[in-house]
Amino acid sequence: MGKYVKKIFAGSSNPKLATKIAEECGVSLGEVSIKRFSDGEIWVKFEENLRGNDVYLIQSTNAPADNIVELALLIDAAKRASAQRINVIIPYFGYSRQDRKDEPRVPISAKVMMDIFIKAGADRVVTMDLHSTQIQGFSSKPVDNIYGSLVLMPELEKHFKDLSSGDNFTVLIPDMGSSKLGQSYAKRLGMSFALIDKRRNAHNHSEVVSVVGELANKHVLIIDDMIDTAGTISNAAKVAKEKGALSVTVAATHGILSSNAIDKLSDDIVDSIFITDTIDNAQKIKNNNKIEVLSIASLMSEAIKRIANSNSVSDLFN
């Protein structure tokens, strides 16, 4: 095969998204076999020639950990098949919350994950809304962090125009860690913003201490990079409604939706929820009419086209 022929392959974590991305790129997904031995070990094989090709592997690394192992094996198989370049597309980068040594005797898990993929043979990593942008520095290879706001922002603009013709909107930042993200949304959407001072007393458990900003008679947008157990989001929504908010809209790039998150978000305190399809949650949310899933396929396909043609990826942000 000729040098740099573009080929896209899907892991098993999110094949629907991978199919959409390939279609947007004007190609079909490449043929790859992924099987399990009787003891649960993973076996992969590319069913077509990769020699000299520009290979793109699409795999979110959300739980279970099999998704991580599977991606590492796909990378290694592509390298041993003499692919010219191996580009790893990770819409959701798992373990990204563990990005620093914040107490004794703990790992920097995000660094471990990045080491796995780079050591396996990845030449480039493309991901979306890393929990911390410093994770890009954990890699000796290029890492492109695409902004989920490019997908969420247009839909949120339409949503709030439908809610009211006035200017009674505010972005509620659910914790200090989301302040930069929330302020960027407030600026782009022309909204005021408020902040919740939250104390985390254990993993996946937090407590609201105080609120800075006005929420009464406002249509409130709560923005975060991910919704995991929805504890932070539901607490913030409760505070907003208690402070007199007219409506509460939640938006996040990654809908992890673990534990009883769906039940929390089904409460009357939340009116609308926008997430993207970085994680395949079709079965979890099929009966929830509040949740609207926006596809990142066009955005990721554009990034792939730019990489394949050696054009600027950062121009996407403009």
State the catalytic residue, choosing from 7, 198, 241, 264: 198
Residue type, 318: N
For 124-215, where are the E strands, in sequence order? 124-128, 143-146, 169-173, 192-202, 205-212
198 is a catalytic site residue: yes
Q: Is 297 helix (H, G, I), strand (E, B) or coil?
A: helix
Q: Is the peptide bond before 64 cis (omega within 30 degrees of 0)?
A: yes
Contact of 225 with 253, CB cutoff 8 Å: yes
Q: What is the DSSP string of 4-63?
A: T-EEEEE-SS-HHHHHHHHHHHTSPPPPEEEEE-TTS-EEEEESS--TT-EEEEE---PS
CA distance 32 to 234: 41
Chain centroid offset of residue 60 CA: 9
Contact of 50 with 81, CB cutoff 8 Å: yes
Contact of 23 with 299, CB cutoff 8 Å: no
Residue located via tokens 């007393």: 201
CA–CA distance from 28 to each of 51, 99, 159, 301 (Å)?
18, 36, 34, 13
Residue type, 243: K
CA distance 253 to 125: 18
CA distance 50 to 229: 40
Contact of 90 with 126, CB cutoff 8 Å: yes
CA distance 206 to 40: 36
Token pair recorded at residue 161: 């125009």
Task: Kindly list the catalytic residues.
Answer: 198
